[in-house]
Amino acid sequence: MVLEKGRITDEGIAELKNRIGSNFSGDYLFTHNKVMTRQAIAHWCDSIGDYDNQLYRDEEYAKTTRFGNIIAPPCSLSSVYLITGMRAGGLPGVHSFHAGWDWLWLKPVMINDLITCTYRPVDIVEKVSEFARRTVIIYAEGVYRNQRDETVAKCIGWSIRAERGAASDKGKYREVKVHQIDQEQQKYIEECYEKEEVRGAKTRYWEDVKAGDELPSLIKGPLSIGDMNAWLGGIGRGGQSHGFRLSALRRHPDWGWQNPETGARETVGSGVHGQDKASKGIAIPVAYDLGCQRNSWVSQVLTNWMGDDGWLKTLYCEYRLFNVFGDIQWIRGKVTNKRVEDGEHLVDCEVWSENQRGEITAPARGTVVLPSRSAEPAARQINSEQAME
């Protein structure tokens, strides 16, 4: 048995429900970044392949924008604290999948801002799924604040807890195979990367947008161990080693797995996201990504499209299917609506991640604030106070 196979019990669920509403204290095991330095921001951008947006990288360029300096990309706050239901704990040996994020961004995170985050479970829902028999969804809220105690963002993240044995018995993903590309497809992928569009300093006005407009797409993949290492490093999840790993596994023994080839005790996170023999223990025949990785790719489509004068206000994303090693994801989007609310000129977009099998693996929706030609310059600024109300 590679992975421990715990059970979801009535007692375990009751214990979890007792934790709802309580703020967790102390440093999280995966806390990585507390200061949004230029290096931390660039490192996170590297981890998702956002290599050409100068607002996040070039200090001289950023000084010419309305922000006056480099700002952090929206989802880079995950490098400070990754909001999922996982930290709620409980149910030992029951696997946890991060299943979605619901973001609200209120203020820019400027270069060298000190960011803190509070975390609390807010809801627990029982569900029967196709993947496993009995599952539990744990919702948690994170509130991010800067050194001036200003709330810069809020995030609801949720995780699905599923019994590993039940998932293996159901075998929903049994037929998933590693996708292999040929030279022609490799050439196509490289051409797509070269055609990525970043709006940047060219202002996109609200008046010029209409429902049905397509957003320039992005391509990501084929997913590889290098992509995963970059992402895990960017969010501070590079893993635990040696004595640190031993200490973590002693505190959370059911978080570990035994490598059948070496006999070594390893953490689940370092296994299912990098080694097929670990992911097979939860009925996924190929190692897979973290869903929040695709969520961040989806945010990049929106920030590329909106330009420096836009503001990504909200983003809701679900992770419906696994993105396994070898998979290619196209990140696509379109405008669904435009409106004016509380003085803000808003554009609603449908966005999604779609694999080479034509499956939508991560459906999402986002709202962007765009400048208006009819608005006074002061009215074009981000209305954080109204957003918080």
In terms of Cβ atoms closer than 10 Å to its own Cβ (0-12, 13-18, 19+), residue 120 is middle
Closest to 334 measured CA to CA, from 302, 300, 372, 371: 302
Quote the pLDDT of residue 10.
Answer: 86
Closest to 312 measured CA to CA, from 268, 347, 355: 347
Q: Provide the residue ranges of all domains of the chain, joining segments of one domain with +.
A: 10-388
Quote the pLDDT of residue 233.
Answer: 83
Q: CA-CA distance, 293 to 324, in Å (whole number)? A: 12
Contact criterion met (CB below 8 Å) for 138 and 68: no
Q: How many CB atoms lie within 10 A of CB 208?
A: 10
Q: Spell out where the chain has E strands.
A: 95-105, 116-128, 134-145, 151-162, 214-220, 256-258, 265-267, 311-318, 329-341, 344-355, 360-369
Quote the pLDDT of residue 85.
Answer: 84
Quote the pLDDT of residue 225.
Answer: 86
Full-model pTM: 0.85
User: Cα torsion for 61, 66, 67, 71, to the nearest 10°?
Assistant: -60
Contact criterion met (CB below 8 Å) for 40 and 109: no
Closest to 85 measured CA to CA, from 21, 36, 157: 157
Q: How many CB atoms lie within 10 A of CB 240?
A: 18
Quote the pLDDT of residue 55.
Answer: 98
Q: Report residues of the chain scoring pLDDT below 50.
A: 1, 167-169, 378-389
Read off φ and ψ for residue 305, nearest 5 degrees.
-75, -40
CATH class of 10-388: alpha beta
Q: CA-CA distance, 258 to 264, in Å (whole number)? A: 6
Burial string for 43-59 (b: 16+ CB within 10 Å, else e) reads bbbebbbbeebbbbbee
Q: Identify residue 89 by its one-letter amino acid code.
A: G
Residue 161, CB-side half-sphere exposure with 13 Å CA sphere: 27
Quote the pLDDT of residue 378.
Answer: 41
